[in-house]
Amino acid sequence: MTEVILHIYDVTNSDSDKTNNTIVQINKIFKDGIGLGGIFHSAVQVYGDEEWSFGYCEQGSGVFSCPSGKNPMYTQRECIVLGKTNFSKSKVNQLLRELSREWPGYSYDLLSKNCNHFCDEFCERLGVPKLPGWINRFANAGDAAVEIAGNTALRLRQAKTEIVSASKVAYRFLVGVTSNSAIALESPANSNRGIPRFQSTWFKSLVSNGAKPSSSSELEDQDGAMIRQLQPQKREDDEEAPLRQNSRHDI
Total residues belonging to the chain: 251
Contacts of 97 (CB under 8 A, 6+ apart): none
3-state secondary structure the chain: CEEEEEEEEECCCCCCHHHHHHHHHHHHHHHHHCCCCCCEEEEEECCCCEEEEECCCCCCECEEEEECCCCCCCEEEEEEEEEEECCCHHHHHHHHHHHHHHCEHHHCECCCECHHHHHHHHHHHHCCCCCCHHHCHHHHHHHHHHHHHHHHHHHHHHHHHHHHHHHHHHHHHHHHHHHHHHHHHHCHHHHCCCCCCCCCHHHHHHHHHCCCCCCHHHHHHHHHHHHHHHCCCCCHHHCCCCCCCCCHHHC
Residues labelled catalytic: 41, 115
